[in-house]
């Protein structure tokens, strides 16, 4: 299957984020979805409840290992520094994201942490998959936030 199919599943997750920034993520291995999550920072009152971290944690539990070798993370927004670091530390093979994050994105926009040659593991990164759809979800969310102030 193409990247768009898996990104649509991540977009479905993002749409479930409620009062959180609409970011969704899925972890795929060998054509099978291992985990899916959306941001839960606000609902859980947890600063680390990013969609990427939640999905990778679920996948690791399912696989019975902290190493996500052979897996791809699909996420609707370019990972932040924390999540980009988690990509490296998990040993995941690939990260495919939708919208670029010019403020915090650490998979190419602000910094390219997963590709930094100083680390012993580098992650393949593909950005801009269904970027318009992912960006539209984010734009609508922030427009609602501004209107409610």
19-49 per-position pLDDT tens digit: 999 999 999 999 999 999 999 999 999 999 9
Give the pair of three-digit tokens for residue 137: 């979800």
Active site residues: 52
Contacting residues for 1 by C-beta, under 8 A, at least 6 apart:
31
pLDDT at 148: 85
Give the DSSP letter string of 33-51: EEEEEE--HHHHT-TT--H
Task: Name the token pair of 12.
Answer: 């479905």
Instruction: Please give the pLDDT value at position 145.
Output: 87
Q: What are phi and psi of 75, to 5 degrees?
A: -140, 145
CA-CA distance, 58 to 7, in Å (whole number)?
18
Pull the structure tokens for residue 42.
């606000």
pLDDT in tens, 92-126: 999 999 999 999 999 999 999 999 999 999 999 99
pTM of the model: 0.96
Task: Measure the CA dihedral 81/84/85/91, to 10°.
Answer: 180
Tell me phi and psi for residue 19, to 5 degrees: -85, -5
The share of the chain scoring above pLDDT 70, in percent, equals 99
Q: How far apart are CA 10 and CA 119, in angstroms?
A: 28
């Amino acid at each position: 299957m193409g990247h768009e199919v898996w990104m649509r599943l991540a977009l479905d997750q993002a749409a479930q984020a409620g009062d959180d920034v609409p970011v969704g993520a899925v972890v795929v291995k060998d054509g099978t979805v291992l985990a899916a999550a959306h941001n839960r920072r606000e609902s859980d009152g947890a600063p680390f409840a990013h969609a990427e971290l939640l999905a990778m944690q679920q996948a690791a539990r399912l696989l019975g290992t902290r190493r996500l070798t052979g897996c791809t993370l699909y996420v609707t927004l370019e990972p932040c520094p924390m999540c980009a670091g988690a990509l490296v530390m998990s040993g995941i093979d690939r990260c495919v994201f939708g919208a670029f994050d010019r403020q915090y994105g650490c998979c190419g926009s602000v910094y390219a942490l997963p590709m930094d040659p100083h680390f012993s593991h580098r992650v393949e990164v593909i950005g801009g998959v269904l970027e318009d759809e992912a960006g539209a979800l984010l734009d609508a969310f922030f427009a609602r936030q501004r209107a409610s102030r």
